[in-house]
Structure formats: C-alpha cells, structure tokens
Structure 1
Amino acid sequence: MRECISIHVGQAGVQIGNACWELYCLEHGIQPDGQMPSDKTIGGGDDSFNTFFSETGAGKHVPRAVFVDLEPTVIDEVRTGTYRQLFHPEQLITGKEDAANNYARGHYTIGKEIIDLVLDRIRKLADQCTGLQGFLVSTAVVEPYNSILTTHTTLEHSDCAFMVDNEAIYDICRRNLDIERPTYTNLNRLISQIVSSITASLRFDGALNVDLTEFQTNLVPYPRIHFPLATYAPVISAEKAYHEQL
C-alpha cells in the first residue's frame, strides 16, 4: 500500500483541508461518520482510496490527516461540524494564541512550542502505514513579506509545490460561477476541486502519476524549479452545467 499523509497548517490550510476531505468523502461514498455503505469487506485495505483513508476494525474510514493551528477557533469548527466523527480527535491539534500572520512567530517562537506534539502525531500516523510515499501539506503564506521568507523553506524542503492565487480564484468565481461576492468557502471548494483532480490518480486505479515520486518525475524539470502551475477547466456554474456541451 502506498499511503499519503495530509498535513493542514493554519486557518487557510485547515479550511482548505476541510473542503478537500468533504470532497474526498463524496467521491468515495464515505459518510460523515466514516462509514461506507458500499464497502462490504471490512479490513480489505486493498482499495485505492486507502492511500488517504485508514480503515478501523469497525469498518470506519479515518483520514490520514493532521490539522494544526496555533489558535483554536477554526479547528473547533471541524470538531463541531458535520464531519466531527470522521477525524481522530488526536489529529486535531490547537494552540492558545495566534501567530497573527507573522512568519517569525509561526516559525520560531509560538510554532516551536507545538512542533514536538505535531511531529509525534505525524509519527503515529506514519507508523500505521505499510509504505508511506509522502506528505501533502496545505498552508498559506498570507503576507508578501512571509512569501519571501518561506521561499527558502519551500525550495529546500518540498519536492513539488502548487501555488494558487486568491485574486485569480476570486475572478473565476465572479466570471465563471456567477457569484457576486465570493467567500472563502467558495474559494476553498474550488481549490479542493483542483487538489482532488491532482490527487485523483493516487486515490483511484489508473496508470499515470500513481505515485508522488512520479509527479516529481513528470512535472519537475530541475529540483529547485518545482513550482508547476495548476490549470483547471471547464469551470461552469451549477445553473449552466446542464445546458453546456461538455
């Protein structure tokens, strides 16, 4: 089995993670409580979606994901939301005070206090995997200053990074989805569609990009230039979808 562990960091990362797992559940027919009526064989574990979900003895599917935020409000929404029974409580990690979009606070001071706990949870998840292939990290840099500071980290430590620009997604929501005032929920759901399409080959049977290393081989020309551009089409509003020729 080639498992992937998702790590969702900060408010934006957690909310994007929320949208992604909601979509994965809909795509695989998994209910908000983790049960899967269509899957009769408990503990089979050979289905493709088991790269993202682990199956318990009771036949419940638990996401291989860790949600981390330095302040509790956003993760509390997960703890009380529709999918509260889906996630393992230990995998929802919160601190007490916000980094206030300050890179130094998040990276050096407050972030340092929580890092050991987070690593311990990730280690537990990794122990449950038979052949861990990699990590998917969702996060946001927010301030322009932060993006300069984080460039070094993304260059050195990640093998492939997909960038998304809020302004561009706002435009898509207004132009293609006919949403006058797009909210972060609209943005996150559109991003989750893109993430779902990128990871579809890992979760469903197929021949191309079955492994995270294949992504690197196929998309990254030089190790340090690993920022592929994600394009997605067609984006059609729900009202027009049934009238368009796809």
Structure 2
Amino acid sequence: MSTHTNYRAREVISIHVGQAGVQIGNACWELYCLEHGIQPDGMMPNDESIGYEDDSFNTFFSETAAGKHVPRAIMIDLEPTPVDEIRTGTYRHLFHPEQLLTGKEDAANNYARGHYTIGKEIIDVCMDRVRKLAENCRGLQGFLVFHSFGGGTGSGFTALLMERLSIEKRANLLSAFIRRLKFPPLSWSPTTAS
C-alpha cells in the first residue's frame, strides 16, 4: 500500500450511465491510468522509481491490500453490450466485476422505460454498489455522473438514479460524509454594522 498518507482524503465516485456514459468512462479511465502511471491491470510500478511524490490519484482510485488500484466508479447500462466491451477490453482487469452492472434489455431510447420499467429492475443493485463505494471512502467529496440527455438509459435511468441518490442522502447514505464536513462555528452578535 502507498506510504504517502499524510493528506486529507478527498475521494470522488464516478457513475457512468448508458452507452454514452460507459464509452466516455472507458476513455476517461484509460487517460486517468496513463496520467498516473497505472497499468491496465491496476498495478502501479514503484512510486519512487517513476517520480510520483503524491497520492492525488487516490481521489479516483482505491488501493487494495495487494497494491492494485481500482477505480471508484460504476458502469451501468440496461443493455449489456457497452459494458461487455469493458469486460473484454484492454482495461478488463482494472474494474472489480461488481462495478460493471447491466440489465437484460435496453430502454429503446425511451425515457419511460429507463425510468419506470426496465430501470426499476436494476436500480436496487446500483444503489447497493454506490453505497458500498461510499462506505469505503474516508473523505467523499461527491459524485461525477456521466450520461447522455437522450436515450432511455442516459436520460430515464439517470433521472431515477439521481432521485434515489437524493432519497438515500436524506436516509444516511452519505451521513458519514456529512459528519466529516468541518464548518466554522457560527457566531451571532446582537450588534449590527452601520
């Protein structure tokens, strides 16, 4: 595991939804890996030998006990083909299999199918995965959601997901995150400035 842990953890969870979100995510994670010297299998050569002096990559990656760097990300599509491209592609060993979520059929570019019918079949599993990622963060800053505004999954399922995230937030999904926020003490003075 990394020896550079004297920073304040600032983690972000990326959620890639639908064909557009998943394809953008695939390209983003390839670039994140290249930027930080992380190999397609999640391994990183010795930090000191390649000149890395900080752990800024930990914003987007978590590190396993074996030293593998895993994206703090979830890929979701109601239709399996885009996610299957990741499962069989160059970066197939980068992602934990539980982070690659698919349904059995697409939403046929129909918002209502993504939000109300097909999306309802996978939303609970997605929320469980988001919960697990959030619980493993020490300083969760928020979410980056990649999706299209068209299509049934990109629009309809993303709306359902955001609705559920909002409900979960109120029901303590991010309570640990909120408790970690440090606000300056409020002071009140009965005098007014003139």
Structure 1 and Structure 2 fold alike (TM over 0.5):
yes
What residue is the counterpart of 2:84 in the other structure? Answer: 76
Please give the per-residue CA displacement for 1:148-204, whole angstroms capped at 9, x wherever unaligned. Answer: xx89x98xx99xxxxxxxxxxxxxxxxxxxxxxxxxxxxxxxxxxxxxxxxxxxxxx
Larger radius of gyration: 2
Structural mapping, 1:134-145, within 5 Å: 134-142=142-150
Please give the per-residue CA displacement for 1:8-42, whole angstroms capped at 9, x wherever unaligned. Answer: 0000000000000000101111100001114259x
Structural mapping, 1:206-217, within 5 Å: none
Quote the Cα distance in structure 2 between the aligned partners of 1:27 and 1:40: 16
Structural mapping, 1:97-116, within 5 Å: 97-116=105-124
Structural mapping, 1:85-124, within 5 Å: 85-124=93-132
Please give the per-residue CA displacement for 1:93-132, whole angstroms capped at 9, x wherever unaligned. Answer: 0000100111111011111111000000000000110011
* Percent of aligned pairs sharing the same letter: 78
The 4+ residue runs of structure 1 with deviation greater than 6 A are none
TM-score after normalising by structure 1: 0.56
Quote the Cα distance in structure 2 between the aligned partners of 1:126 and 1:110: 25
CA RMSD of superposed structures (Å) = 2.4
Among 24, 38, 52, the residue aligned to 1:30: 38
Larger relative contact order (CA 8 Å, sep ≥ 6): 2
Quote the Cα distance in structure 1 between the aligned partners of 2:79 and 2:48: 40
Match of 1:68, SS?
strand
Quote the Cα distance in structure 2 between the aligned partners of 1:95 and 1:39: 39
What residue is the counterpart of 2:136 in the other structure? Answer: 128
Quote the Cα distance in structure 2 between the aligned partners of 1:69 and 1:92: 9
What residue is the counterpart of 1:10 in the other structure? Answer: 18
What residue is the counterpart of 1:65 in the other structure? Answer: 73
Quote the Cα distance in structure 1 between the aligned partners of 2:92 and 2:48: 23
